[in-house]
């Protein structure tokens, strides 16, 4: 059953680390990832690990497969890739149009980045920032602080952060690093087979509220990736 928001005042946004479409059975099955994405019922989807690891980093989830399923793909400048630094944003549905895209290089030992896609949506203008933060806490903090500074230099828009934050701590450290963002209550999404860590998170900026949020665990999400998707039904505050 699809979890689609019927209320036109709501917009469902989801975040999903698709692990290059390689499931827990070690099989690369893009069609399985597509099935999960479709069943989440989100109009806007933020993806991590959407490209293969080695240069030229071709898309793990083929463009043609997404387009055949009715998805639009934000052009984030990666030739042959689905996104940038593995981060991608796709959308479909009435009343959603793209305004602008951009990306942000993040500090740290590992090559990390974030992407920005500004939309017009049925709930108003919306900035979606997708990210996959580093494995080392010190650099995660630097990356969050860097994103906060970058946001201050952008024109103000209601903003949602969505991604794999790689933060295992049960202490609200992300909230402390980014006090302008309100992280929705953490729910375990990793590992998919038996979730223990709330690595995948969604945070809202000024002008946004969530009517509901959760972790999507319907089959085949339990095996399609090592992460489960998270979602939130957004509304204007």
Domains and CATH numbers, the chain: 11-236 (3.60.10.10)
Percent of the chain with pLDDT over 90: 85
Kind and range of the H or E element at 204? strand 200-204
Residue 88 to residue 86: CA distance in whole angstroms: 6
Q: With bands split at pLDDT 50, 70 and 90, how would you rate the model's confidence at 2?
A: very low
Nearest to 32 by CA among 41, 20, 42: 20
Across residues 123-142, what is the average pLDDT? Answer: 96
pTM of the model: 0.94
- Three-state SS sequence of 54-90: CCCCCECCCHHHHHHCCCEECCCCCCCCCCECCEEEE
Assess contact for 208 and 234: CB atoms under 8 A. Answer: yes
pLDDT of residue 3: 45
Q: Where are the beta strands (DSSP E) in 122-176?
A: 124-132, 159-164
Residue 1 has pLDDT above 70, yes or no: no
Percent of the chain with pLDDT over 70: 96
């Amino acid at each position: 059953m699809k979890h689609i928001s019927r209320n036109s005042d709501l917009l469902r946004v989801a975040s999903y680390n698709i692990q290059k479409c390689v499931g827990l059975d070690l099989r690369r099955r893009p069609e399985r990832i597509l099935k999960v994405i479709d069943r989440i019922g989100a109009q806007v989807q933020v993806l991590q690990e959407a490209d293969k690891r080695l240069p030229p980093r071709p898309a793990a989830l083929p463009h043609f497969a997404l387009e055949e399923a009715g998805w639009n793909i934000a052009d984030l400048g990666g030739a042959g890739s689905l996104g940038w630094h593995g981060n991608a944003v796709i959308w479909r549905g009435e009343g959603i149009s793209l305004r602008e895209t951009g990306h942000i290089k993040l500090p740290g030992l590992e090559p990390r980045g974030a992407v920005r896609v500004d939309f017009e949506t049925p709930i108003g203008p919306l900035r979606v920032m997708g990210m996959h933060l580093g494995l080392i806490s010190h650099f995660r903090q630097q990356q969050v602080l860097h994103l906060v500074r970058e946001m201050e230099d952008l024109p103000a828009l209601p903003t949602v952060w969505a991604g794999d934050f790689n933060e295992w701590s049960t202490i609200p450290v992300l909230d402390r690093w980014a006090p302008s963002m309100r992280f929705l209550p953490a729910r375990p999404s990793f590992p998919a087979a038996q979730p223990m860590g709330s690595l995948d998170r969604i945070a809202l900026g000024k002008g946004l509220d969530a009517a509901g949020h959760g972790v999507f665990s319907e089959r085949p999400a339990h095996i399609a990736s090592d992460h489960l998707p998270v979602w939130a039904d957004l509304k204007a505050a």
